[in-house]
Amino acid sequence: MWRRFCLQPHRSEGFKFSTDPELDAKVRDVVGLYLDPPENAVVVCVDEKSQCQALERTQPILPLRPGIPERQAHDYAWHGVTCLFAALNAATGQVTDACYPRHRHQDFLKFLTKTAAAYPGVALHVVLDNYATHKHQDVRTWLARPENQRITLHFTPASCSWLNLVECFFSVITRQAIRRGSFTSVRQLTAAIGAFTGGWNDHPRPFAWTKDAEEILASINRAKTKTKALTDH
């Protein structure tokens, strides 16, 4: 009966809809930057990946062999955490990164300064989420300086982290470097992150955004309508 009616009771999926009152405007703004960036400007996607853990496996990692995947011991020793900041150039795939012990507004401002220095003399459009540190008064004061007025922040709607392309890079580095390593210290972890990013920048691969704002908003509205119909029953 389950197969006949295409039912899969063993599966469960979560969902969350944005309640941001400026959802439409923010989606159009961010997607517009991806599909039609301003002329002679650079678009970078910025975010923090907090709680990157330095885990040392209790046994050596067993390398892959024909028919057998790489294997790690389940047990580990914990050596601390770091916070990875990254700015992905939406057009080229180039990544500017830094690791700090925490992700306070002071750390964000330090990284924003580093990102701005990586793209001197051009209009810089920065896509990021609504985390409080990104909107701190010290950040707004820094942006108001004459030399920094070339920098514009663009915020994704609340609960829409998938609109930030740097999340794609975080997914790659997590799967290929952070989770698959064994680190005896935070310093060793940050070195591995730096080495991975360096290799990435030797052969950068941009993530191509394909859907326009109208398609995205229509998809969101269809999902809301479908979910309301199911919950009403």
| Radius of gyration in angstroms for the set of CA atoms belonging to the chain, rounded to a whole number | 21
One-letter amino acid identity for 153? L
Is the distance from CB of 160 to CB of 78 less than 8 angstroms? no
pLDDT for residue 185 = 97
pLDDT for residue 17 = 84
Mean pLDDT, the chain cut into blocks of 10 residues (233 residues total): 91 85 95 96 97 94 90 92 98 97 95 97 96 95 96 95 95 94 96 97 95 93 82 69
Going by their DSSP bridges, the two strands 95-100 and 76-89 should be labelled as antiparallel
Separation between Cα atoms, residue 88 and residue 110, nearest integer Å? 16
How many CB atoms within 10 Å of residue 47?
A: 24
Burial 3-38 (b: 16+ CB within 10 A, else e): eeeeeeeeeeeeeeebebeebeebbebbbebbeeee
The CATH number for 23-61+70-213, chosen from 3.40.228.10, 1.10.1840.10, 3.20.20.100, 3.30.420.10, is 3.30.420.10
Going by their DSSP bridges, the two strands 123-128 and 95-100 should be labelled as unpaired
Ramachandran bin of 114, using left for φ above 0, alpha for ψ from -120 to 50, beta for the remaining angles = alpha
- With 0-12 CB in 10 A as exposed, 13-18 as middle and 19+ as buried, what is 76? middle
pLDDT for residue 52 = 96
Is-above-0.95 flag for pTM?
A: no
Residue 134: name the closest of 108, 115, 96 by CA: 108
Question: So where are the chain's domains?
Answer: 23-61+70-213
pLDDT for residue 175 = 94
